Structure 1
């Protein structure tokens, strides 16, 4: 899984899975274009990986399109940008719902569209990888909008695979279990809540960002050339039991 000479856009590269993925792919030779809300969030990424950094507000479609055009034609897109607003069905706010769906779902689709248009203009080929979640497969308390966004991106990925395969573009989705990032810590720091989840993982632990980054590298690589339209659960066996 050598990515020398390849260029990858990673949204949400300022922290969590996105930043760890940037480090992992850079270590394998890829050139990184990292995107996040502010350049402050991307601080140090250039020094760590040699990345080109682009600030963009992914709640604004025009900003997404501007950032993708600034990135130019790349070989891979990894859609990691995401947020969560912990609200129940009864307490869900319009503001919270809009924020989650706009960033997790709409922005990812728009970024994929811009990436695919550039790849088609360049003759085709490339890979779109969307980060989903096991929350798109199971109902977790206070995750109503997050779950909807992740189930939505999996459905969109299947359509991308169908429509873009004639252009040599693969589209795949990766659904991690709870991954111990800053976002997950907010939702799962209470042992009363986390322990019942932990015991449902046959592997006996939650994921680390490095676990997900290595799976991203696998799916982007030519070793996965027959994989498109699929959702890979990186969940320590959670969905299997």
Structure 2
């Protein structure tokens, strides 16, 4: 999702800074989209992130897309899974958004932030207790950010996809029986493609959504309506 969002923004003429902990992904993206500025850092590391992003910018638009899904039955959830999941899925959003928002406020310009959440923020999914918890927290963080940053003309929204056919989505939902239990609850009868999520992100970043903030936008084929 992050890669395709970066490519779509680059194609639209935006100056893109791409952040990933995987150097090879950044190298191939830079080759595919000349002019994209790569930043290689593990967003789960607060100090390294602060250092890596301190000289980036100015930034007007931010997509918080980094995420991990460590699936464990509730009774087997480990401290490591909790720490890693909340560090990346929630704490990194706070930190990166703080850095960007402070820059916007200092410059006195409006901006937009989109957090990539999940339908799992609002529905329980077996073996997803930590993941669901991080995304539920992210939805509420989105609303509080919108409340506090709104006076500075900074909009904050979330997109909440169903299962998306990324490599992570394919790995976690490759079992046909497991997939059927989810697909049977989606009125449109399919999982999301990456472009479905990218389109929603681009809308929320654009002035076409200038009156929308604090929202959690489902990209779920109707799952949350059932």
TM-score of the pair, normalised by structure 1: 0.91
Tell me the residue number matched to 1:30: 14
RMSD: 1.0
Tell me, yes or no, if structure 1 residue 123 matches structure 2 residue 99: no
Greater than 4 Å deviation, 4+ residue runs: none
How far apart, in 2, do the equivalents of 1:174 and 1:67 lie?
Answer: 26
Q: 2:2 aligns with which of 18, 21, 32?
A: 18
1:75-102, Cα deviation, whole Å (9 max, x unpaired): 1000000011111110001111111110
Question: How far off its partner does 1:124 sit?
Answer: 2.9
Q: What secondary structure is seen at the aligned counterpart in 2 of 1:66?
A: helix
User: 2:210 and 2:175 mapped to 1: Cα distance?
Assistant: 41
Q: Distance in 1 between matches of 2:12 and 2:190?
A: 27
Q: Which runs of 5+ in 2 are unaligned?
A: none
SS at match of 2:54: helix
User: How many residues matched?
Assistant: 225
Q: Is the 8 A contact 1:68 1:115 kept in 2?
A: no
- Residue ranges of structure 1 left out of the alignment (5+ in a row): 1-16
Looking at structure 2, the residues matched to 58 and 207 of structure 1 have their Cα atoms a distance apart, in angstroms, of 26
Superposition pairs of residues 1-241 of structure 1, within 5 angstroms: 17-50=1-34, 51-241=36-226
**Relative to total residues, which structure has the larger helix share, 1 or 2?**
2
d(CA) in 1 for partners of 2:141, 2:115: 9
Q: CA deviation at 1:39?
A: 1.7
Instruction: Give the C-alpha shift of residue 65 in structure 1.
Output: 1.8
1:43 Cα offset (Å): 2.3
Distance in 2 between the 1:54 and 1:35 partners?
5
- Alpha-carbon distance between aligned partners in 1 of 2:73 and 2:57, rounded to the nearest angstrom: 40
Helix, strand or coil at the partner of 2:189 = coil
- 1:128–1:170: 8 Å Cα contact kept in structure 2? yes
Which whole-Å CA distance do the structure 2 matches of 1:217 and 1:42 have between them?
21
Structure 2 CA distance for aligned equivalents of residues 171 and 45 of structure 1: 26
